[in-house]
Amino acid sequence: MRSQIFSALMLALLAFAAMPMASAQQVPFQDKPFAEHKIVLQLSDGDAKKQALVLSVANNLLKAYDPDKVAIEVVAFGPGVDLLLSGNERRRQVESLIAQGVRFDICLNTVDTIERETGKRPEFIPTATPVQVGVGQILFLAENGYTLVRP
C-alpha cells in the first residue's frame, strides 16, 4: 500500500515538473514567425524626449524594413511606463505603432509599485501587453535572438 501511494506521488510530481510553467515573462513575438530582424527597445526613462525617441526609432524601423520581416518590442518599466498610461499625450502614436505590429510591454511590478505608493492602480493602454518583470522580459527576448537597443 505504501509503495503504491509513493509511486502515485512520484508520478504526480514528475507530471507537475514536466508541465510548462505559465509566465507572462516568456512571451516572444508569436505573430511575426518570419521576422528576420528582432529588436527590443528598452524604455526605463520618464523623460518625454526619451519616450519620443523610442517611438521614433520604432517608426523608423517600420519604414526601413518590411513590417512582416521585423519584430519590434518596446519594454517599459520604471518611469518608462508613463508612456503606456491611458492619459499619455502620445497614446495615439503608441496605438498606431501597435496597429502596425509593434508590441508594447508594461511591467506589472512597476504598476504594482505605483499602486502601493499612490493608493490607486494606474490605468494603462489596454492594447499594451502586461509582463510581470520588465527587465526579465528584456532578458528573455535577448536570450531568444532579439537585439537590445536602448535609445
Domain ranges of the chain: 34-149
Find the Cα–Cα–Cα–Cα dihedral 16, 133, 42, 142, rounded to 10°: -20
Start-end of H helices in the chain: 2-18, 48-64, 91-99, 108-118, 134-143
> Considering the chain, what is the average pLDDT of its residues?
85
Q: pLDDT category, 15, cuts 50, 70, 90?
A: very low
Tens digit of each residue's pLDDT (9 = 90 or more) over 44-102:
999 999 999 999 999 999 999 988 899 999 999 999 999 999 999 999 999 999 999 99
Cβ within 8 Å of residue 52, ≥6 positions away: 90
pTM of the model: 0.80
How far apart CA 107 and CA 29 sit, in angstroms, is 16
CATH class of 34-149: alpha beta
Indicate if the pLDDT at residue 19 is higher than 90. Answer: no
Give residue 45's pLDDT. Answer: 94
Mean pLDDT of 128-144: 96
